[in-house]
Amino acid sequence: MLLIVGLGNPGKQYENTRHNIGFRVIDKLINDSGARDVSKNSFHGELFKTSNTLFLKPTTFMNLSGNSVQAVKNFYKIELEDIIVIHDDIDLGFSALRFKNGGGHGGHNGLRSIDLMVGKEYSRVRMGVGKPIYKSQVADYVLSNFSEDEEKILSKWTDHTSYAIKELQSKTLNEVKSRYSLKSFEG
């Protein structure tokens, strides 16, 4: 069983923010796969299932995402190497896409929480959202909406990313990395 986690914050006010790019991709994957809702309060998130894949949107808010991942991991007895986390990354330019296994959290509070609760050796799908000019602006920046110009690219970039994640279900991370990584989405 594969667990694919999209990071974000619950609530309408966060729906179109940079921090919620993981939720956008999960929504696309759920819609494309016809996954059924298997959520429980104990999962601390919205959980959807197909025959061999789980899709999770933690509803704990970003800083406590690890609570939700740990609950689902333990309930379904999922190995760490079978977890893929989709998240925003300010160290990559807007619409860049990178894949990696393990590593540090890079200051991302959602990853920090997951690392603390389940360990670090899971796969990461890093979606570049750009960064603000000053480090002191990071929190406001990731909680801001995408610009009009960025919105024009967003659905095609989300489609590309969701297709790459589907490929991860049957191909190695290195195969997907070499084929689907982007410096920026050219459409």
User: What is the per-residue pLDDT for 187?
Assistant: 58
Give pTM, 2 decimals: 0.95
CA distance 85 to 149: 26
Is 105 designated active site?
Answer: no
Please tell me the class of the 2-180 domain.
alpha beta
Q: Residue 185 — very low, low, confident or very high, per pLDDT cuts 50/70/90? A: confident
**Hey, what are 149's tokens?**
């110009």
* pLDDT tens digits for range 33-57: 999 999 999 999 999 999 899 999 9
* pLDDT tens digits for range 88-107: 999 999 999 999 999 888 88
Which letter, b or e, does each residue of 80-114 get, where b requires 16 or more Cβ atoms within 10 Å of its Cβ? eebbbbbbbbbebebbbbbbeeeeebeebbbbbbb
